[in-house]
Amino acid sequence: MRLTKPLCAAMTAGLLIAATDAALAQKKYDPGASDTEIKIGNIMPYSGPASAYGAVGKAMTGYFHKINDEGGINGRKINFISYDDAYSPPKAVEQTRKLVESDEVLLLFGALGTPSNSAIQKYMNTKKVPQIFLATGATKWADPKGFPWTMGWLPSYQSEGRIYAKHLLKEKPNAKIAVLYQNDDFGKDYLKGLQDGLGSKKSQIIAEESYELSEPTIDSHIVKLKALNPDVLMIFTTPKFGAQTIKKVGELGWKPTMMIANVSASTATVMKPAGLDNAQGVISAAYAKDTTDPQWTDDPAMKDYKAFLAKYVPEVNPADSSALTGYNMAQTMVQVLKQAGDNLTRDNIMKQAANLQGIQQGGLLPGILIKTTATDFSPIEQLQLMRFKGERWELFGGVLDGEMGGGAH
């Protein structure tokens, strides 16, 4: 059978339409995504009691500018909308509603703080909008059955608490331990991790002193704990209160072994304000490289990071570990968007976020990998201990797993 010209043309047109339909079918968009743009929302305490963390948001903003300057992701530019919530749960709810309902973002990324994220978690899951890679280590973000649209990023505070317990059981098995903690999910998670890690020896905790975020100073709590004469002081605080604690302990001439939460281990915003003399010997844990550590001077990844800061976020102090956190988190977010390809639906974003297979990012310590599965929403579960000496942190020991029963790697 010979095809007439009109029939040929009709068939060709039909094939073109089918091909176009197939191409369109491959592109799937939810609100906040298009051929040219990916709209990402964020809330951050640029003001208020946790404003030291503002550098996290500034670094994220800078990193997405860098990605856009390089052509974006699969040809799409990132439109990153970051609002100040002042570390206030009511403000967090207001700003999140604005992002989802007015700005119509595809997802919420990197929202900072346990109180803020707790206030919006049910809303985000009801709306089925991803609330991912949160800048908080609360254990409850890793609940894929109960909250399938929420995923943390930082190592969990309970994991970190268990790692400190392991160190104490090995190095100071009979120590009397005092704990200062923030009276919210953030502080209680650390406390629970420490208690679980000590196991049958948790009776060695002789004091559990909590403070409220609204308190201007916690000096009175430190005086009270010193009177009990513990050997070890656990400091489960945000940066402002961490600096106050170390400074007050020094002023009192008290010499306990101090261990401080990773989130308050910044040389720039905690150790220096506390007084370097007072900070000597303080122990913490890390999963990321320290920009002030000479061992990374010639590290290509650290060179890239410092060049990035100089170009995109020059106002941030390179010694501020919070900026590196924002940079690292933004890299993970970009990886997920790359994996999502042209299927930029909220459902696929969650699928890709739960499919990170042992990624080694340059800003993380060697051996610490980002891994997730459909049933494991904890991207980072390993840390390494470090001790403050001179003007910087020095790593010691191997990479430790903070899971129950986990050991060294």
CATH at residue 233: 3.40.50.2300
Same domain, 278 and 138: no
> What is the model's pLDDT at position 408?
40
The domain total for the chain is: 2
Helix pair angle (300-312, 54-69), 10° resolution: 90
Angle formed at CA 383 by CA 380 and CA 389, multiple of 5 degrees: 140
Same domain, 165 and 303: no
Return the amino acid letter for 126. T
Asked if the structure places residue 331 within a domain, the reply is: yes
Same domain, 54 and 141: yes
Are residues 163 and 400 in contact, defined by beta-carbon separation less than 8 angstroms?
Answer: yes
Are residues 336 and 351 in contact, defined by beta-carbon separation less than 8 angstroms?
Answer: no
Same domain, 53 and 150: yes
Same domain, 205 and 255: yes
Same domain, 392 and 277: yes
Same domain, 270 and 390: yes
Asked if the structure places residue 106 within a domain, the reply is: yes
DSSP label of 207: E
402 vs 155: CA distance, rounded Å: 9
Same domain, 169 and 275: yes
Number of Cβ atoms within 10 Å of the Cβ of 121: 21
Asked if the structure places residue 17 within a domain, the reply is: no
Please enumerate in sequence order all residues whose Cβ is within 8 A of that of 131, keeping only pairs 6 or more positions apart, or say none: 107, 108, 111, 117, 120, 121, 124, 125, 149, 150, 151
Same domain, 179 and 281: yes
Confidence (pTM): 0.81
Are residues 386 and 283 in contact, defined by beta-carbon separation less than 8 angstroms?
Answer: yes
Beta bridge partners of 338: none
Domain region containing 166: 158-286+385-401
Mean per-residue pLDDT pooled into runs of 10, the chain (409 residues): 56 55 72 98 95 95 98 97 97 98 98 95 98 93 97 93 94 97 93 96 96 94 97 96 98 97 91 97 95 91 97 94 95 98 98 95 94 94 94 91 55
φ/ψ of residue 97, rounded to 5: -60, -40
Residue 191 parent element (H or E): helix 185-198
H helix runs in 70-128, sequence order: 89-97, 114-127
- The beta strands (E) that lie in 99-204 are given as 107-109, 131-134, 150-152, 177-182
114 vs 322: CA distance, rounded Å: 16
Same domain, 165 and 304: no
Asked if the structure places residue 392 within a domain, the reply is: yes
Asked if the structure places residue 7 within a domain, the reply is: no
Residue 232 parent element (H or E): strand 232-236
Asked if the structure places residue 293 within a domain, the reply is: no
Same domain, 267 and 397: yes
DSSP label of 216: S
Are residues 56 and 323 in contact, defined by beta-carbon separation less than 8 angstroms?
Answer: yes
Please enumerate in sequence order all residues whose Cβ is within 8 A of that of 312, keeping only pairs 6 or more positions apart, or say none: 62, 63, 65, 66
Number of Cβ atoms within 10 Å of the Cβ of 216: 8
Same domain, 274 and 309: no
Asked if the structure places residue 22 within a domain, the reply is: no
Asked if the structure places residue 5 within a domain, the reply is: no
